Amino acid sequence: MENKSLVNQILHNQKVTEYGYDGYGIVRINNNYPILVENALKDEIVDVQVIQQNAKFALGKVVTQHVKSEKRIDVANKELVYSYNAPLIIISYEDQLKFKTQVIKSMFAREFNFYDVADCKESKKQFHYRNKLTLHVQQDEKEIKIGFFVRNTHIILEQKNYDLVNEELDKIVKIVVAFLKANATQIRNWKLYSIVFKYSDKTNETLVIFDSYNKLKTENEIAQIIKQAIGNEKANLIFHVINHKTGKVVEQKIYGQEKITFKIGKYKYLVNYDSFFQVNDDQAKAIFDFILKKNEFKGNELVIDAYAGVGTIGLYIAKNVKHVVSVENIHNATENAKLNAKLNKISNFKALTMDSTRYFDTFVDKENVGIVIFDPPRAGLNTIIIRKVIEKKIDRIIYLSCNPHTLVRDLKAFLNGDYHIKLVQPFDMFPQTQHIETLCILERNKDQK
């Protein structure tokens, strides 16, 4: 098949045969060649326009829908649907949970012959659960566009409502977007390209980060107007000028504070603008409580919390173990973790600013580690970390993953290193989206000690 032969073509009356892990409907043509189709469900008959293509698969979008799945539901927020950033929004929440459960069960059955995967635990909120939002900005001589990138593109689709974020944050986002669009001429030379919003509903604090390639001459005036428009004394703004080539911050101006306070359960967490924090507070609490319940800590364990962010998980379990070492490579996040330990009056906690790979390669041999917690980015772990954990013969691994594919890859290496899977529990951290948070607990085989 010629890779270029299908792009922009419309394929008529195609049947969707599967619903894939990433929330695509799958149409198969020409000897089983898959086309991953946005906004398409199994058993629907559609006309598909091919957008991109390579040797392994193509991407497409529905031009015309001829037969609709009985599982499809009507969604009022069409802009969110057609941004394809929430692909599961077109099916019921019950079906979303079934879909996510089946994804993880199928992977573990196929890869490990492991069949004891629990059903995906539902989120307390199916909408308005996010405490963070990123909007992209494009501007020319005629207009400014502010919204989401359509999935797999750099095309911005503006949004009328932000149904996945906290209701109060939704209001704040609309205020800021409306102001910027009303003053598009005044800010044209600013070259603003991204806005990040963070909001804590427990403390009513807001942090808005503007990333641009030029300094805004009227920055002070604009900042005060936006703060006043938001109408919240706890609104904090940060203006960054970014080097276009390096992507690094070359100038920063803070109006208010550079960090805000979140709460999970009884614990408070100071979080800087560049520090990672779970986007769904309620589900994070459910996961952390589950970790405490299922691990039955005895109080004598030394725990390494790798990719620790602001110390979220480590601090949550610290009072149940002997000592926690928090390892994180972002300096501000580590400083947050140290402050959070003091804020929560936790003394058996140490935070290190260090790449997790370097820590495991250089320092882990000096500690009598019983348990390691991994909450890595989507890329998962690297081979050095996995090898050192195996060599160190750490008794238990608590692995919280946002990417089932890299989780499976890493688990294969651990299982080859004399570990076994004790527990697999998916959580719906991101309702309406294809993303799945999976908690996996591994233990060393006792006969290998």
Domain ranges of the chain: 9-72, 97-124+280-444, 132-262
The pLDDT score that the predictor gives to residue 234 is: 87
The pLDDT score that the predictor gives to residue 1 is: 43
Binding-site annotation, residues for S-adenosyl-L-methionine? 278, 307, 328, 375
DSSP, collapsed to helix, strand or coil, labels residue 72 as strand
**CA nearest neighbour of 22 among 36, 9, 35, 34:** 36
Question: Which tokens sit at 172?
Answer: 């704040």
The pLDDT score that the predictor gives to residue 447 is: 60
Report the distance separating Cα 27 and Cα 14, nearest Å: 7
Query: Per the residue annotation, which of 107, 402, 407, 421 is the catalytic one?
Result: 402
Report the distance separating Cα 222 and Cα 228, nearest Å: 10
Q: For domain 132-262, is the CATH number 2.40.50.1070?
A: yes
Phi, psi of 126 (to 5 degrees): -95, -25
Sign of torsion, CA 293 298 299 300? negative
The pLDDT score that the predictor gives to residue 3 is: 47
Residues whose CB is less than 8 angstroms from the CB of residue 401 and which lie 6 or more positions away in sequence, other chains included: 374, 376, 380, 407, 437, 438, 439, 440
CB–CB of 96/402 below 8 Å?
no
What would be the CATH architecture of the domain defined by 97-124+280-444? 3-Layer(aba) Sandwich (3.40)
Report the distance separating Cα 271 and Cα 294, nearest Å: 28
The pLDDT score that the predictor gives to residue 449 is: 42
With left for phi above 0 and alpha for psi between -120 and 50, is residue 64 left, alpha or beta? Answer: beta
Q: For domain 9-72, is the CATH number 3.40.30.10?
A: no
CB–CB of 108/114 below 8 Å?
yes
Instruction: Assess whether 402 carries a catalytic annotation.
Output: yes
Over the chain (449 residues), the average pLDDT of each successive run of 10 is 74 96 94 95 98 94 97 97 97 98 98 98 98 96 93 96 97 97 92 97 96 94 94 90 95 96 98 96 98 95 96 98 96 97 98 93 81 96 94 95 97 97 98 98 79
Q: How many residues does the chain have?
A: 449
Neighbours of 26 (CB within 10 A): 17
Asked whether the domain spanning 132-262 has the same topology as the one spanning 9-72, the reply is: yes
Report the distance separating Cα 317 and Cα 287, nearest Å: 12
